[in-house]
Structure 1
Amino acid sequence: MTTEALLAYAHIMAFLMAATFLASETALCRKEWMNAAAVERLARVDMLYGISALLVLATGLARTWWGIKGGAWYWSQPLLHAKVTLFVVIGLMSIVPTMRFLRWRRAVRAGGALPSDDQVRSTRRLVMIEAHLLALIPLLAVFLARGVGTR
Structure 2
Amino acid sequence: MAEIFFRYLHFIGIMSLASTLVMQHLILSSQVTKEQLKKIAFIDIIYAISAGLTLIAGLSLWLWVGKDASFYSTNWVFHLKLSIFVLIALLSIYPTIFFIKSKNSNEENVKIPKVIIMLIRMELALVFLVPILGALIAQGSGLK
The equivalent residue for 2:90 is 92
String of CA shifts for 1:101-142, please: whole Å, max 9, x gaps. Answer: 1121132xxx2253325x1x3311210110000111111111
Gaps of 5+ in 2: none
Contact 1:104 1:114 (8 Å CA) reproduced: no
Letter in 2 for 1:65: L
The equivalent residue for 2:10 is 11
User: How do residues 24-39 of structure 1 correspond to structure 2 at under 5 angstroms?
Assistant: 24-31=23-30, 34-39=32-37
C-alpha separation in 2, matches of 1:145 and 1:72: 13
Gaps of 5+ in 1: none
Detail structure 1 runs of 4+ shifted over 3 Å in the superposition.
none
The equivalent residue for 1:23 is 22
The equivalent residue for 1:66 is 64
Report % sequence identity. 26
User: How do residues 118-133 of structure 1 correspond to structure 2 at under 5 angstroms?
Assistant: 119=113, 121-133=114-126
More strand by share: 2
More helix by share: 1
User: How do residues 74-85 of structure 1 correspond to structure 2 at under 5 angstroms?
Assistant: 74-85=72-83
C-alpha separation in 2, matches of 1:114 and 1:99: 18
Partner SS, residue 143 of structure 2: coil
RMSD: 1.5
Contact 1:29 1:123 (8 Å CA) reproduced: no
Partner SS, residue 110 of structure 2: coil
- Normalised TM-score (structure 1): 0.88
The equivalent residue for 2:128 is 135
Question: Is 1:114 matched up with 2:112?
Answer: no
- Normalised TM-score (structure 2): 0.92
